[in-house]
């Protein structure tokens, strides 16, 4: 991995899939300090690399989430204290199999504007979502529940 990419992952607060003209699928990495870094790496690789940097395994984290809050798909991921990644649909897939869910750190969300379908991060950046506000609120609540259960359980 490149050093610049690793630095961006360390300071990341959200990973958002996007499509760019003349490039194709990219991943936007929103930084805690503000700004956005665009990489051609897939969402899967970015999430895997983020977990690796935090000395965790994405598959074990997903299994832990399923055990603690039930269900299997699209559940928040507890990475470490202060980092609970919430899946949020931010784009419609162009073809089957495209990743269309962003992962946003629960602790980096400042506000949720349901009427405009916007999540405002505490660094001032905004992320638009394309699913119902109720689905987003449910995942935010699940993220809070997951964090509380992990804290109580001492995992």
For residue 147, give the DSSP letter: H
The confidence band for 146, taking pLDDT boundaries of 50, 70 and 90, is very high
**8 A C-beta contact, residue 15 and residue 102:** yes
Q: What was the pLDDT predicted at 1?
A: 59
Q: How confident is the model at residue 155 (pLDDT cuts 50, 70, 90)?
A: low
Mean confidence (pLDDT) of the chain: 92
Residue-wise pLDDT tens digits, 56-65 = 999 999 998 9
Mean pLDDT over 50-58 rounds to 93
Strand runs labelled E in the chain: 12-20, 24-31, 36-39, 77-80, 83-89, 101-105, 109-113, 118-121, 126-128
- What is the predicted pLDDT for the residue at 97? 77
Residue 81 burial class via C-beta count within 10 angstroms: exposed 0-12, middle 13-18, buried 19 and up: exposed
* Res 2: pLDDT: 82
Q: Could you tell me the pLDDT band of residue 3, with boundaries at 50, 70 and 90?
A: confident
> Distance from first CA to last CA of the chain, Å, rounded?
29
pTM tops 0.85, yes or no: yes
d(CA 155, CA 35): 33
Give pLDDT tens digits for 82-119: 999 999 999 988 888 777 999 999 999 999 999 999 99
* Among 14-23, 114-123, 140-149, the least confident range: 14-23
Q: Which CA distances in Å does 7 have to 3, 25, 53, 67, 124?
A: 6, 22, 10, 32, 20
């Amino acid at each position: 991995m490149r050093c610049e990419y690793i630095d961006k992952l360390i300071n990341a607060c959200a990973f958002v899939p996007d499509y760019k003209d003349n490039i194709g699928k990219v991943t936007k990495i929103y930084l805690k300090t503000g700004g956005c870094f665009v990489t051609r790496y897939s969402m899967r690789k970015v999430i895997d690399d983020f977990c690796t940097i935090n000395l965790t395994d994405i598959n074990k984290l997903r299994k832990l989430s399923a055990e603690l809050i039930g269900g299997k798909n699209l559940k928040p991921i507890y990475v470490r204290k202060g980092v609970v990644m919430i899946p949020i649909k931010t784009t419609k897939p162009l073809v089957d199999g495209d990743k269309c869910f962003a992962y946003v750190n629960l602790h980096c969300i400042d506000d949720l504007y349901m009427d405009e379908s916007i999540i405002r991060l505490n660094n001032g950046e905004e992320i638009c979502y394309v699913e119902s506000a109720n689905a987003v609120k449910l995942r935010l609540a699940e993220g809070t529940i997951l964090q509380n259960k992990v804290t109580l359980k001492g995992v």
